[in-house]
Chains A and B, each alone.
Chain A
Amino acid sequence: MAKKKREVQEINASSMADISFLLLIFFLVTTSMATDKGLARKLPAPVEEAQDSTQVDIKQRNIMQILINSNDLLMVNGDVIPVTKLKERAKEFIANPNNSENLPEKKPENIPFMGTQNITKDHVISLQNDRGTSYQAYIDVQNELVAAYSELRDELSREKFQGVSYAELDTAKQKAIQIYYPQRISEAEPKNYGQQNQGGAQ
């Protein structure tokens, strides 16, 4: 029985490409590249039941009150305005460029890189919505307010730091600009007004 010495045959690898193509197409199809994006916000810490009634005294001129009703209509300090006008209005309120009497008062504040500046550091944007307000309307308003702040910050950054946009500044300079334009959006404790019987899942 003379055994023939056979050489081990090479495995045919030509179908390898087909197999990996198949896998590739599977992953191509199932992949969802959608990254999560959203409006980042911070909630206030919960109020203790006991000290609920202690209210902070804020001057009328320092408050911008935004109300959204159950029909998604917007009222800012008593005027009904469309959401498209909100950003301009908010920018004027936050910056108070002409030092007007009925917009937030300006107080001197020492800011790094900029020296002493008169800023409207006590302004508050108070946002209140109805239970029947739609979520899209709420997000629209939040978005416009954030847009107002970021535009003001960007304008200031270009003015003070030789045309560099806010996003490109280093952290210390961004901090300085945040002192100049602090984001002060306060969301009122929920109230039920307008349509009384609205309420979603209960």
Chain B
Amino acid sequence: MAKFRKDGGKKLPAISTSSLPDIIFMLLFFFMTTTSMKEVTLRIDQKMPEATELTKLEKKSLVKYVYIGIPKKNEQKNFGVESRIQLDDAFAQSPAEVESYIATKRAAMKEEDQPFMIVSLKVDKDTKMGVVTDVKQALRKAYALKINYTAFQRANNY
């Protein structure tokens, strides 16, 4: 069978890797475009509640966020351990501040988008409803009636 085996025959040619950068670049662009950087630095600890009947928030530009939770460890000596409301990067002094915050946010939006504004409430699951109710009342006063309670998907239903 020496017929098939040519000793000292041709060496395998090296596989060309010149297209490797292109492939990697493609992946890179994919991740660059899908990445969403954090909008704010959270100063509170948050664990989202779990639910099953969730809807996706489609348009990021229409969504404004209100965060509620207990201040992080390093903030606690200044802001205590009670649940607090964070708007952008600062703590709100009182729930009533939410009303003016939403008003400014709405004014900054494009006029045709303003009626579709959604307020996403990102609330820690151990928060007492008192604060949340105050915020909801403030949102009602600001006529920001479309809200969304952010929650994680729970696998099993009851």
A interface, size bucket: 35 or more
Residues in A with CB closer than 8 Å to B123 are 135
Contact (Cβ within 8 A) B31 A139: no
Q: Does A46 contact B (CB under 8 A)?
A: yes
Q: Min CB distance, B14 to chain A, in Å?
A: 12
Residue in B55, B125, B139 whose CB lies within 8 Å of A135 = B125
Q: Are B132 and A40 in contact (CB under 8 A)?
A: no
Q: What 1/0 mask marks residues of chain B from 127 to 158 whose CB sits below 8 Å from any chain A CB?
A: 11111111011011101111111111100011
Q: What 0/1 readout, one digit per residue, does chain A (125-145) give for beta carbons within 8 Å of chain B?
A: 000011111111011101110
Q: A21-B24, A147-B53 are in contact. Are A33 and B34 (CB under 8 A)?
A: yes
Chain A residues with Cβ below 8 Å from B27 are: 24
Q: Using Cβ atoms and an 8 Å threshold, which residues of chain A touch B158?
A: 83-84, 87, 144
A-side binding surface: helix, strand, loop or mixed? mixed
Contacts of A172 in B (CB 8 A): none
- Assuming the contacts A132-B130, A136-B126, A139-B149, asked whether A146 and B35 have C-beta atoms less than 8 A apart, the reply is no
Enumerate A136-195 residues with CB–CB distance to B below 8 Å: 136, 138-140, 142-144, 146-147, 150, 187, 190
Top 8 nearest A-B pairs (CB, nearest first) are A131-B130, A200-B131, A27-B31, A136-B125, A143-B51, A38-B150, A133-B129, A37-B54
Q: A37-B150, A39-B148 are in contact. List 12 more A-B contacts (CB 8 A).
A: A17-B24, A23-B28, A27-B31, A36-B63, A36-B148, A37-B54, A37-B151, A133-B128, A134-B129, A143-B51, A150-B53, A190-B133
A residues with CB within 8 A of B: 13-14, 16-17, 20-21, 23-24, 27-28, 30-33, 35-46, 83-84, 87, 129-136, 138-140, 142-144, 146-147, 150, 187, 190, 198-202
What are 26 A-B pairs with beta-carbon distances under 8 A? A17-B21, A17-B24, A20-B21, A20-B25, A24-B28, A27-B31, A30-B35, A31-B31, A33-B34, A35-B57, A36-B148, A37-B55, A37-B56, A37-B150, A38-B55, A39-B151, A40-B147, A41-B149, A45-B140, A84-B158, A131-B128, A134-B129, A136-B126, A143-B151, A150-B53, A200-B134
Q: Which residues of B contact A (CB under 8 A)?
A: 17-18, 20-21, 24-25, 27-28, 31-32, 34-38, 49-57, 63, 82-85, 94-95, 118, 120-121, 123-134, 136-137, 139-141, 143-153, 157-158
